[in-house]
Amino acid sequence: MITNKAKKRVLQVVGEWVPIMGLEWYTINHQFNEATDSSDEQTQATTNTTWYYREATMTWHLPKLALLEDDELENVVVHELVHILLDPIHPEGDGINHHLEYATECLARALLAARKA
């Protein structure tokens, strides 16, 4: 099944990047959504963190991730892992903080570029 392959790919990339980013001291749980949800075309993954307990839950939307090339999947994984690092500075409350989202993406791209250098 295509979503099983996507799940394995996600876990492999996460396994590569967690030690690179020094996140071994976090408890990271994974949830895998196999449903196709057309309500949000952009969201491929989400990360919810309880930073003061050093716990995070990453939800992966497998039908969307299954369509990605390896480098695109790596970008998504690193972006979500950066959310774990930056969550303590996220203002309380619901909703997207566009400044924090921008910082997350910039940091993810910098990490990816540094690894490839």
Residues 38-93: tens digit of each pLDDT: 556 678 999 999 999 999 999 999 999 999 999 999 999 999 999 999 999 887 76
pLDDT band at 2 (very low <50, low <70, confident <90, very high): confident
Q: Looking at the domain that runs over 2-116, which CATH code has it been given?
A: 3.30.2010.10
Nearest to 13 by CA among 66, 77, 65, 64: 77
pTM of the model: 0.92
Instruction: Tokens 């876990």: give the residue.
Output: 11
CA distance 22 to 28: 13
pLDDT band at 96 (very low <50, low <70, confident <90, very high): confident
**What percent of the residues of the chain are helix, what percent strand, and what percent coil, each to the nearest 5?**
55, 15, 25
